[in-house]
Amino acid sequence: MPSSKLQSDSSPDTTSDNNYKLVVLISGSGKNLQAIIDNIEAGNIKASIAAVISNRADAYGLKRAEKSDIEAKVLDHTKYDSREAFDEELQSLIDSYSPDLIVLAGFMRILSDHFVEHFTGKMINIHPSLLPLYKGLHTHQRALADKQTEHGASVHFVIPELDAGKVIIQGIVDVKEDDDEESLANRVHQIEHQIYPHAVKILAEGQLEYNAGEVLYDNKPMLNPLKKQLI
């Protein structure tokens, strides 16, 4: 199984030629966006964010982008007659930036198959469970109801089937006897902020590749996700 220290050289990157470009899609607070921004600014991720796009004008993540001088765009899904019409406009907007990677960071929209297929191998998402467990909603509640001893988050490639793409990395947290949904969710958020930037990092460095439906890690087929335990 591949393993990862999830640690990088802490010295900041003083170069300006971070040619690997990201577009980040958000709908809310943008905490995972901020974790990625922080790692880019610290030089841990050799990439740049070309734009942050939200389907909600009140998403706080837009302010996070603006604070870091990142272009922030709003594409209000309520202004479109259908999901397909919105996705078509969103696809055109993303394509205008020619990104290497699209990062879904709390983007609360189910995307059409055509949209997802257009960006095959170039779009990742983070889901609050240890996939394939608990696809969909209410993951913390379901983990507690099943008396799981471990829970966590998974970064995966996006495919048309919901939460079913190849998993890149998983962050694991212990479920405590006195946990409720809020306390468990808080620890899952902590591990999310570690594993999502790391997934972006290894993609930007070319250490991880998507090739014709197969995921390669260090030029070898990735048989299992990377793992990170919250301490």
Active site residues: 127
Could you write out the DSSP letters of every residue in the chain?
----------SPP--S----EEEEEESS--HHHHHHHHHHHTTSS--EEEEEEES-TT-THHHHHHHTT--EEE--GGGSSSHHHHHHHHHHHHHTT--SEEEESS---PPPHHHHHHTTTSEEEEESSSTTSS-SS-HHHHHHHTT-SEEEEEEEE--SSTT-SPEEEEEEEEPPTT--HHHHHHHHHHHHHHHHHHHHHHHHTTSEEEETTEEEETTEE--S-EEEE--
* C-beta separation of 199 from 168 below 8 A: yes
Count of positions (residues) in the chain: 231
